[in-house]
Amino acid sequence: MQTSFKSIPVRQQLPRLIRSGAVGVLSRRQAGDRAFTLLELLISIAIIAVLAGLLLPALSYAKEKARRAQCISNLKQVSLAMQEFSFDHEVYPWRLPPVDGGSQTMTQAAKSFQVMSNYLTTPELLVCPSDLRQRIDSIVLVKNTNVSYFVGIEAQEDQPNILIAGDRNIEGGRPKRNCPVAEVYNVATEFSKVEIPNAGWSKAMHRRRGNIALGDGSAHQVSAPELRDSLFGSGDDEGAFNNHILLP
């Protein structure tokens, strides 16, 4: 009789296999006839378990690498959309009053993405693949809970190195600050020269790394030290480095 090993776990099959004689403690002569003894089967299972233990971390590393690449692609498209918006309106959304189609004075990060509905192809772009934020179908209805990325509301159009968006697991900033550029008060997170040395990424996403988009339309994967370099090189405010962001 042919014995199938498919679908039913081997452990559950063992008693039946032993009864049927397919697996068992065999005499030396029997062992010569049979392909597998119980001991050999157990050794095989142990070897497979060890190999799986070795391969799984590599597999999960490869998966995270793919997620990070998708996130960079998202941020690249977001930053290009912001640039296109600024070409059409002369300023970024957070510098344009709502009456003119911008998000100035609005305190939710999601609003800056909402007003770019004509520039962002899909709200999927706003969710990092390493994040558990809920995806929705319409950019117009997007809320902070559907967004993985902060908005760099300090950014002005002539600052190619300033952060305009990035993963929301950024940490080390000072909360509840004012940002005169976006005209929002008591809600921005500030990275001035006092906070920048503490800037980094929480473990919530990308294994303590993160991605950022800059004013020149580029997107990058950055470690914590690279993030700090980027904040210091933002070209903001003649040495004050008052980078302000709105977290979703």
Give me the least distance between CB of 98 and Zn ion, in Å please. 28
Among 17, 22, 23, 71, binds Zn ion (CB under 5 A): 71
Per-residue interface string for the shown chain with Zn ion, residues 171-200, x marking contact by CB under 5 A: ------------------------------
Any contact of residue 78 with Zn ion (CB under 5 A)? no
Query: What whole-number distance in Å separates Cα of residue 51 and Cα of residue 29?
Result: 32
CB 182 within 8 A of CB 163: no
Query: Phi/psi at 242 (nearest 5 deg)?
Result: -85, 60
Residue with tokens 């760099």: 152
> Using CB under 5 A, which of 167, 171, 190, 236 touches Zn ion?
167
Token readout for 19 is 């009864």
Q: How far is the CB of 104 from Zn ion (least distance, A)?
A: 26
In the list 128, 147, 155, 222, the residue contacting Zn ion (rule: CB under 5 A) is: 128
Nearer to Zn ion, 126 or 196 (CB): 126
CA distance 188 to 150: 10
Residue with tokens 């597999």: 59
Check residue 76 for interaction with Zn ion (CB under 5 A): no
Residue with the two structure tokens 């590599």: 58
Q: Which helix (H) or strand (E) holds 222?
A: strand 219-222
Q: Can residue 213 be called a binding residue for Zn ion (CB under 5 A)?
A: no
**Region from 24-32, 106-114, 128-136, 238-246 binding Zn ion, contact rule CB under 5 A:** 128-136
Residues with Cβ within 8 Å of residue 10, at least 6 apart in sequence: 41, 45
Min. distance of Cβ 90 from Zn ion in angstroms? 30
Q: Is 165 in the site for Zn ion (CB under 5 A)?
A: no
Residues 6+ positions from 208 with CB-CB distance below 8 Å: 200, 201, 202, 224
Cβ-based nearer residue to Zn ion, 92 or 201: 201
In the complex, least distance from residue 69 CB atom to Zn ion, rounded to whole angstroms: 10
Closer residue to Zn ion in complex, CB, 128/170: 128
Stretch that binds Zn ion, among 8-16, 69-77, 110-118, 240-248 (CB under 5 A): 69-77
Separation CA 169–CA 166 (nearest Å): 9
146, 220 in Cβ contact below 8 A?
no
Q: Which is nearer to Zn ion, 116 or 128 (CB)?
A: 128
- Compute how many residues bind Zn ion; rule: CB under 5 A: 3
Residue whose structure tokens are 């912001």: 82
- Where on the chain is the footprint of Zn ion (CB under 5 A)? 71, 128, 167
